[in-house]
Chains A and B, each alone.
Chain A
Amino acid sequence: MSDNGSWRRSTTNLVVSIALPITLLLLWQIAVSSGWWPRTLIAAPSDVVAGLWNITRSGELFAHTKVSMIRLFAGFTVGSVLGIGLGALVGTFNFSRRLIGPTIESLIPIPPPAWIPILIITLGIGEASKVGLIAIGAFAVVYAATAQGIRGADKRLVEVGQLYEKRRGEMILRILLPSAAPNIFTGLRVALGLSWILLVASEMVAAKMVSAEARLEGIGLGWLIFDARRFGRPEEMIVGMAAMGVLGKLSDMAMAALQSRALRWRTSFTGM
């Protein structure tokens, strides 16, 4: 009896989860097939599947994915490490906060794409400026999350540390950062999502002019979306979007797994 019940429950769960996506796919196919949405601009799901098959088979999709993921990883890592480092500094030491806080905090609200001209002039038009753009965005988010997280640490824990005459370095590593960890991880997940967005923006800036053959070396998923849109290959544009969506979700899941591992000690709400 209980076996039967759990099978029914998991099927119901599955149906509920995929009901919405399937309905949207059907509506999309109908919209394009009926001509409501112009087929030259928005490909039908059927065209997208065909396009996906083509560029997977040629190896192009894999090449673009590889190149994009390397950029993303590099930018995200640089930005996050700097964000945690400076955020910890500013969160812990009042002097640091007074010295560099206001400067950083006035630069953060500048939308990362606005930095593009300066990035081109200083870092050039190669990988450095692309990674730089992503790093700026990731830094902004992680810095704020870290600084706030540390400032939100329980004062009593700090006092206990001071009672035991812990050195400042130990205080930061053993008390303050762990207290700030929930905030930091939230910041990291948001920064990861932002990094994907900035990846697309950066890949639109300067791409090598390549022939169809050389595309197999990989130019980037963001470039694929941009170029496909420009030259009327709507199904490739959507394949690019879908690939980014899937990779974004997978990377977020990985980060979430990391988060639950690191925050094992927390007792918090897990949904009704």
Chain B
Amino acid sequence: MEKNTKLAISAIGLLLVIGVAVAVYLQDSDTPSPSPTPITVRIGTMGDAVDYAPYMIAQQKGWFEEAFRDFGVDKVEYTSFQELAALNESLGTERTDLVFEAGPPAIIGRAQGNKIRIVGISCSLTQEIVVRADAGIDDVAGLRGKKATVPAGTSSHFNLLSILEASGLSDSDLEIIDMSPPDAKAAFEGGQVDAWAIWPPMVEEQVISGAGTVLPKTDARIHSVMSIREAFRAEHPGIAKAAIEVLQKSKQWIIDNPEEAKELVAKSLKLKPEVVELAWPKHDWNATIDGELIRDLQSKADFLKGRGLIRDGLDVGKDLVDPSQDEQPSAQKNAA
């Protein structure tokens, strides 16, 4: 074939391929855009945890659907994300609207450029470190030279390091390995690591099976919060307010009906009742958004920035937590 003809055909072929690819892409993608009418609200959680109880109960009782109906919402979608990256990507492409997560995942999301606001708090709980029962570790100082695991970028990560610091240890005094909860569970149970900084129900599962014991308590806390996409809130202020009210209603219901709540949580997470029973007292369902929360989150944000885990610093009180959503501090704010 003549050379020029060959060239022409290649060029046209290339343009065709690109044209088709672009057309398919435009056709195919659920274009990130404001939710179409009728509205679907998409709720996500970061992993599974007992501290999401208000969310789980509201979901099971259909309270979200009920509260949103007046605002033209005909569907609520629930997604559990196993990876923080996937959750933040979903938020970033406006495919998730409301999220239940802990403080650091929200901080990381915000620092990445996802404009989210913490508008509610499910509960706060004490951080625990579970150690292998046969490792002979009685206190934090005993962790020196040992192997510990914690998921990077979570409250537990920050808390582990500050607990170590409070006992005069730095993270070079032991080996700390970043593992997701399922992998860490295999490693802990297989004796590959001596200690695991994690949250309920995983702590309780190890204690009840006898594989682990918990180190003495400290002040380190985990805050389980509810965040919302700012763009979503601006577009649907009524729905946003309703969500906050559902969370409050659910928390109150938990305080008033603890036995039933524990049962629902055990069913939701497919846990043995004694695991939930052991975990329950550690959770403070009366938690509110207050100065203490903001200070705690700020120190976590500074920590993430200091370690180079997030690029830009964050002013939590200004950019992340919504001051206008300050709830009235409850009369009985019991420490867990």
Q: Which residues of chain A have a CB within 8 Å of any CB of chain B?
A: 8-9, 12, 16, 19-20, 23, 27, 38-41, 116-117, 120-122, 124-125, 205-209, 211-212, 226-227, 229-233
Contact = CB atoms under 8 A, between A and B. Distances in A.
Given A120-B192, A125-B193, A232-B310, A206 B108 contact: no
Contacts of A20: 14, 17
Given A38-B113, A41-B89, A121 B178 contact: no
A125 B127 CA distance: 24
A23 B19 CA distance: 12
B93 A206 contact: no
A125 B179 contact: yes
Given A206-B177, A209-B152, A117 B111 contact: no
B183 A208 contact: no
Contacts of A232: 88, 108, 111-113, 310-311
B276 to A, nearest CB: 24
B7 A209 contact: no
A125 B177 contact: yes
8 contacts: A20-B17, A38-B92, A124-B192, A212-B308, A230-B83, A230-B84, A230-B152, A232-B88
B186 A207 contact: no
Bin the interface of chain B by size.
35 or more
A226 to B, nearest CB: 8
Given A125-B193, A232-B88, 6 more contacts: A27-B22, A38-B92, A205-B179, A208-B178, A209-B178, A232-B108
Interface in B9-35: 10-11, 14, 17-18, 22
A124 B311 CA distance: 33
A234 to B, nearest CB: 9
A92 to B, nearest CB: 38
B87 to A, nearest CB: 10
Contacts of A120: 183, 186-187, 190, 192
A39 B176 CA distance: 32
Contacts of A41: 88-89, 92-93, 112
Given A124-B192, A229-B85, A232-B311, A40 B92 contact: yes
B176 A209 contact: yes
A51 to B, nearest CB: 11
A121 B190 contact: yes
A236 to B, nearest CB: 10
A230 B153 CA distance: 9
